[in-house]
Every structure is written in C-alpha cells, then in structure tokens.
Amino acid sequence: MRMSLYVPGTSPLHRAGARWKLAALLLCGVAVFLTTSVAVLGPAAAVALALLLSVRAPREQLVRQLRGPLLVLAAVVAVAALTESVHAALVVGLRLVVLLLSALSVTLTTRTSELQDVLELVLRPLDRAGLVNASAVALAVSLALRFIPEVFRQFQEIREAQAARGLRGSPLALVVPLVIRVLRSAEDIAAAIDARCYPPARTGDLDRHERLSGKAPG
Amino acid sequence: MTARTRPLMSTQDIVLIALFCAIIVALGLIPPVNIAIVPVPITLQTLGVMLAGAVLGPVRGACACALVVLLTVLGLPVLAGGRGGLGVIPGPTGGYLLGWIPGAYVTGLLVKTFALRVSRRGPQLAAYFAACVAGGLVVVYAIGIPWTAVSTGLGMGKAAVGALYFAVGDTLKAAAAAAVAHNVRRSYPIEPR
C-alpha cells in the first residue's frame, strides 16, 4: 500500500518551501471566511483550481481524494440554495472549493518528511515551555507509520486463519484478537526501544538518566 | 528538570498510542459497508476511536486519536477510503475528526470511573456501552455539528439532521465497541491511563 499522498514533480509548488506553503494555506483558510463576495471568491476558486492542475497529479488520485468531499459539497450547496438563497449557496460552495483544492495542492506537493520538519519547528517552542515532549511525538509518528501496514497485515492474517476454520464472521469477530495481539506486542516493542536508548536523553532530562542508571524504581 | 513538570509517558505508553493509532487507521482500510441510497460509506474507523478510549484509558486514548489527526494533517491517507491531507480539517467533516480526541478521552474516563468498578457482567457491559455512546457520539457530535454549521454556513438544525443519519450506525458501533472492550479486558487486562 502507498503510504503517502505525495506526487513527485518539479512544479513551482513542489519547489516552494513547506513552511511557506503551510503559512499561505493557513492565511487562505482564514481569508475565505472573512468575505462573502462572489467577485472575490470566484477568482480565488479559479486560482486554486489552476494551482491543483499545475501539480500534474494522476487523475485517479485526484478522483479518489475529491469524490467524497465533492459529494458532501454538492449536498451542502443544494440545501443552501433551496433553503436560503442562490447567493448563499454560491458563497458556501466557492469557499469550500478554495479550501479543498488549495489544501490538496499542498498535500500533493509536500513530502511527509518536509511536513514533519515543519511539525518539529512548531513543536520546538512548546517543547521548551515543557508543554509537549517533541521527541516523544516524533517517536510516536514514526512508530505509527511503521505499524499501520503491520497491523493491517495482522488483520488479514487473522481473517485468513478464521476463514480456514470455516468462520466467515463479521469484522467484529476479528477486532478482539487483533487488539489483544497488538497489546501483547507492545511490551516487546517498548523493551526493544528502551534497549536502544531511544529517544536520546536530553540535557536536564533527569528522569531518564536515573532510569538508565538503574536508580529509579521500575 | 523539565521531566518533572510534564506528565510522565513511558516508552510503553508511546508504543501503545502508536499501535492503537495504527488500529484506527487499519479499521478504516477495511472495505466499507455501503448503506443503500446515500453514498456515504459506513466504516469501522469510529469503532477504533471508541475502543482507544475504552481499552487504553482517557489520556492514551486521546493521544492515539490526536496521532491519527496529526498523520492526517501530515498528508497521509489514513482516513476511511484513503483520504487525508490538510483540507480535511477546515472541511465540513473536520469537526468530527477533531472531536475524536475529547471523545476518546470522555469514553476512557467514564470506563475508568464507572465500568471498571462494576463486577457483574450485565451492568458492566451496559456501563461500557454508555461510555462509548457518551464519548463516541455525544462529544464527537457536539463538536462536529457546530463545525459543519460554521464550515458550510448552514444552520445548526440542518447540520444536526445530517448527523442523525450517522447516529444509527454509530450506536451500533458503540454496542460493538463495548462488547470488544469488555472481551479484551477479560483476556488481556491493561491498566487504563
């Protein structure tokens, strides 16, 4: 399975820095809610569409990402047109189109690793203030990326095992053994990570030093 | 010094959070059950959200859901049907996704304070179910519905009608999550945190 939505390419959007793209996206998200003028939102939607097309993503991926949201969008516009006014429907529709297309353009042109760098940049001040532990977040993200295919593989394994015994159960009968397997493996994985001293201890991280030198209980 | 001020998270907690995040994503990959007429697929992803709270407890459950949100924002196709990306958050359904985090917390808190104090099977299952409904439905909808209303400019009433469509499926999923969490706890109990 493909784990990222990134599409390789050399378009201007590909070459732009991830943090600038995200900052622009954030501003754009605020801006579309500040105006109700179709004269502004219409061209904005056209620009967003042009941006998305400049990415040159494969059509099937665009269809897959846009089909669901566009159905919701169509329903919303229809309800707004019927119950309020055509103008309100247009504003709502264009707003969501701008958001949807510009965000998708950024998603398609930015590597996950680049986004992770931006995440680290955002977390750094919070980490310094003691609000979050940036290295724990980074560890959790990379573990999750590693485990998603693994958990899915285990799910299919359990399904095959049950089918071999003639059980053609609901997905629910699969969830219990899946969760138990996962909980059981967590202990081993945690021991393996601790054995490798990851995440690396930071200066001033007393708790970890104590634990590594065996002074702390547990 | 800083280690003293922040809540302690052991490596095992981080691993459990990451693994449960992977379960939530994997449940979204299972081919969805289509309810006829309306083209909205019913997936088991929200089942995973309720389970995260009910099995891991409030803090780790909420962290697992926050990790799913983070992966979505990082542009990974982790949501049901292979969707993801930044556009999900400001979209009409973004509030439901964000609502998972407090939803799992509330489910975990209720399981911890009520369900685990009951010893008889029947009442315990009922307490699990109530916790899953409170967290997975009430809290998630309480954030999702106003979010839809703001994002689309429709009134709260219309957004709520849209949500009602999912309520039936979500109630069934809460019942399923209660049964699964109860079973898991009997065969492999871990301390909820």
pLDDT of residue A63 exceeding 60: yes
Contacts of B10 in chain A (CB under 8 A): 190
In this prediction, residues A187-215 reach a mean pLDDT of 66
| Full 3-state SS string of B104-163 | HHHHHHHHHHCHHHCCCHHHHHHHHHHHHHHHHHHHHHHHHHHHHHHHHCCCHHHHHHHH
pLDDT of residue B111 exceeding 90: yes
Of A76, A116, A141, the CB nearest to B154: A76
Name beta bridge partners: B83.
Answer: B79
Give the pLDDT of residue A171.
65
**Least Cα separation, residue A86 to chain B (angstroms):** 13
Which candidate, B150, B155, B95, B87, places its Cα nearest to that of A68? B87
Of B44, B81, B162, the CB nearest to A68: B81
Q: Is A7 on the interface with B (CB under 8 A)?
A: no
Rounded to the nearest 10 degrees, the angle between the axes of helix B156-187 and helix B121-133 is: 140
pLDDT in tens, B32-81: 555 544 445 567 889 999 999 999 999 999 999 999 999 888 777 788 76
Least confident of A8-17, A131-140, B178-187: A131-140
Contacts of A89 in chain B (CB under 8 A): none
Residue A207 to residue B8, Cβ atoms within 8 A: yes
Which position has the higher pLDDT, A116 or B37? A116
pLDDT of residue A170 exceeding 70: no
Give the pLDDT of residue B75.
74
| Distance in angstroms (rounded) separating the CA atoms of residues A110 and B133 | 38
* DSSP codes, B62-77: HHHHHHHHHHHHTT--
The full set of domain ranges for chain A reads 12-115, 133-212
Name beta bridge partners: B41.
Answer: B34
pLDDT mean across residues, chain A: 81
Give the pLDDT of residue B40.
52
pLDDT of residue B2 exceeding 50: no
pLDDT of residue A178 exceeding 80: yes
pLDDT in tens, B125-172: 999 999 999 999 999 999 999 998 888 877 888 888 878 878 888 888
Give the pLDDT of residue A213.
52
**Domains in chain B with CATH codes:** 2-187 (1.10.1760.20)
**Residue A1: which pLDDT band, with cuts at 50, 70 and 90?**
very low
| Distance in angstroms (rounded) separating the CA atoms of residues A130 and A126 | 6
**Residue B188: which pLDDT band, with cuts at 50, 70 and 90?**
confident
Q: Which two tokens stand for residue B192?
A: 């909820």
Give the pLDDT of residue B7.
47
Which candidate, B116, B115, B7, B114, places its Cα nearest to that of B63? B7
pLDDT of residue B4 exceeding 70: no
Which position has the higher pLDDT, A136 or B146? B146
Which candidate, B10, B13, B32, B11, places its Cα nearest to that of B21? B13
Give the pLDDT of residue B172.
87
Give the pLDDT of residue B144.
92
Name beta bridge partners: B181.
Answer: none
